[in-house]
Structure 1
Amino acid sequence: MDAIKSQWAGLPPNVRGILWVVLSGLLFASFMAIVRYVGTTMNPIQMSFIRYAFGMMFMLPFFMRMQLSDFRAANIKLHATRGILHGLAVMMWFYAMSRIPIAEVTALGFTSPIFATIAAVLLLGERIRMRRMIAVAGGLLGALIILRPGAAIIDPGAIAMLVAAPIFAFSDVMAKLLTRKESGPAVVGYLSIFVTLVTMVPAIYVWRWPTPEEWALMALTAFIATLGHLAMVQGFKLADVSVTQPAKFLQLIWATLIGFLLFSEFPTIWTWIGAAIVVAAVSYIAHREAVARRHE
């Protein structure tokens, strides 16, 4: 065990960061598969509440180790704002998962960094140059190719996912602000608290007492998703965004394999083409951000 730890510590930070992000993608794809399965019988709003309620429980040991000064340093207003927005997006994400293939949800979710670029301009005052504006436009074009408006009837789940993506993007930018002064686990923990509160009220109106199997599966989703978030945060801390971003897109491969093996789903050629355009646009934006940071 000590030998493995020393070998791991000897790897370059970028390599360790990539491996953490690859692991997070596999965890998220597994989480999506379970949500897809449970979503055939349970209301998506109820699922979103149970998932984050369990997630909040998994984060309790972390909160118990926090000092009073840690709580005082927390930006509760920003955590609450992020939690409210994220909670709305989560409910739409669970709705999308109950209606459209896993790979399509994943592909549309990749547009989130495109919207994060826009959010960074609005919230952080970052300047955006013409080349990045073209990349943003290209990413949005990729999303349109996935949806193919006019060529096919757009499923409400796809619309929900496309609305959720920019909200997740604003949430990510707020997380970036929070991690400047707070730890990654603290950011994940407070998110679990506020999203649980946001989803609790609508969940009451659609509540159906879950079966023992559903309770167990939802607890498992919360555990896997929490691990996925922690792995992703750790990866982003260790490696440059431009390095980890392409690795994040391996999640589409995992999602496609799981969707095909478990649910006989296979994305259309338009999903692949649109996802490729989105991936290229996001990778270019990540590259330009890394170049800009090196010149700061």
Structure 2
Amino acid sequence: MIRNSELSGIANVIFAGLMSVAMAAIIKIVTRTLSPLEVVVLRSLISAPLLFFIVPRHSRLNFRAYVSKEHFLRSALGYGGFAAFATCSSKLPLTLASSISYTSPIYCMLLSTLLLKETHGFATGSAATMGFLGALIINQPGLADLDIWVVVGLVGAILDSLAILMVRRLANTAGPGQMSLSFMLWSSVIGFPIAIPVWVWPSPADWALLLLLAIVAVLAQVALVSGYARVRLSRAAPFDFVRLPACLAIDVLCFDTTPTLAMWLGSGLIFFGASVALVGANMHK
């Protein structure tokens, strides 16, 4: 039977994915008036104070941990991945940008095999394959017209998978809150100089959206770090694909996307793959 800690980790990964979908929708709206790079750094600047009060006091003031090279590397990779995703979300249809970003579970599985020596069961491999095929089915027409933003999105997905790998490495020495706070602090430091050339002062409506984005980002970060700290990359990665059908639903409801047969088939394949992964995880320790 699947362990309670792993089940909790999978639930956290799924919840983080749903929060990522909410972030993508907010980014799509707020980048109509603000640069994606400015949105990324403001998300971090607003999120950091919120996280400061979530982190346990003994970890909150452990400044030596925040300046370690492991925390910096994880934050730099995560910043690069999120900046690429935010930029693609502002330039491409939301579902297409998300499907490109959500190829990261495939890279996570490959990295877990190569670097962490994790093994993949038949159910996990099948689920990841079905998730990837589902993403291709949903976006086959859009991916046919490759442009620079598709490449940016793919690079961002690789950076995201490397950041998740670093989460696994840091899990034994840092808690979820501390890792999340470190990420937001470093993202602010890295992103602020990059955003200055395109800076535009946000309107009151933009500030409201940015605050909402920061709150959702805090929930997503803590859940993501908690999830991947408790469960193997190979076991959790297939559940990341559940984000894509959720993103498709947002696209349909909020951005006037008309669902096609391919979208329904792809979403069904993704959900079926996630079910296979859950059943497989439940059958093996």
Tell me if both proteins adopt one fold, taking TM over 0.5 as the criterion: yes
Instruction: Determine the structure 2 residue equivalent to 1:40.
Output: 32
Please state how far the C-alpha of 1:291 moved relative to its aligned partner: 7.4
Instruction: Determine the structure 2 residue equivalent to 1:251.
Output: 243
Paired residue for 2:200, among 196, 208, 214?
Answer: 208
Q: Secondary structure at the match of 2:199?
A: coil
Please state how far the C-alpha of 1:132 moved relative to its aligned partner: 7.5
Q: Specify the code of the residue in structure 1 equivalent to 2:45.
A: A
Please state how far the C-alpha of 1:152 moved relative to its aligned partner: 3.4
Contact 1:17 1:237 in 2 (8 A): yes
What 5-or-longer segments of structure 1 have no aligned partner?
A: 1-11
Q: Specify the code of the residue in structure 1 equivalent to 2:194.
A: P
Q: CA, structure 1 residues 131+286, in 2 after alignment: closer, same or farther (shift >3 Å)?
A: closer
Percent pairwise identity:
27
Q: CA, structure 1 residues 171+16, in 2 after alignment: closer, same or farther (shift >3 Å)?
A: closer
Instruction: Determine the structure 1 residue equivalent to 2:97.
Output: 105
Please state how far the C-alpha of 1:210 moved relative to its aligned partner: 1.1
Normalising by structure 2, we get a TM-score of 0.78
What is the distance in 1 between the residues matched to 2:126 and 2:16?
Answer: 29
Contact 2:96 2:142 in 1 (8 A): no
What is the distance in 2 between the residues matched to 1:127 and 1:28?
Answer: 27
Q: CA, structure 1 residues 67+222, in 2 after alignment: closer, same or farther (shift >3 Å)?
A: closer
Q: In the TM superposition, what whole-angstrom CA distance separates every residue of 1:67-87 from its partner, at most 9, and x where no partner exists?
A: 599444568111111211221
Query: How many residues are treated as equivalent by the alignment?
Result: 282
What is the distance in 2 between the residues matched to 1:150 and 1:113?
Answer: 20
Comparing 57-66 with 232-241, greater Cα deviation is found at 232-241
What is the distance in 2 between the residues matched to 1:259 and 1:139?
Answer: 19
Q: CA, structure 1 residues 38+56, in 2 after alignment: closer, same or farther (shift >3 Å)?
A: same
Q: Secondary structure at the match of 2:145?
A: coil
Contact 1:89 1:168 in 2 (8 A): yes
Alignment of 1:157 onto 2:157? no
Comparing 257-266 with 34-43, greater Cα deviation is found at 257-266
Alignment of 1:169 onto 2:161? yes
Instruction: Determine the structure 2 residue equivalent to 1:198.
Output: 190
Alignment of 1:77 onto 2:69? yes
What is the distance in 1 between the residues matched to 2:145 and 2:65?
Answer: 49
* Greater C-alpha radius of gyration: 1
Q: CA, structure 1 residues 184+245, in 2 after alignment: closer, same or farther (shift >3 Å)?
A: same
What is the distance in 2 between the residues matched to 1:73 and 1:151?
Answer: 41
Please state how far the C-alpha of 1:191 moved relative to its aligned partner: 0.9
What is the distance in 1 between the residues matched to 2:267 and 2:187?
Answer: 28
Alignment of 1:59 onto 2:51? yes
- Structural RMSD (CA): 3.9
Q: CA, structure 1 residues 285+81, in 2 after alignment: closer, same or farther (shift >3 Å)?
A: farther
What is the distance in 2 between the residues matched to 1:118 and 1:291?
Answer: 22
Q: CA, structure 1 residues 91+138, in 2 after alignment: closer, same or farther (shift >3 Å)?
A: same
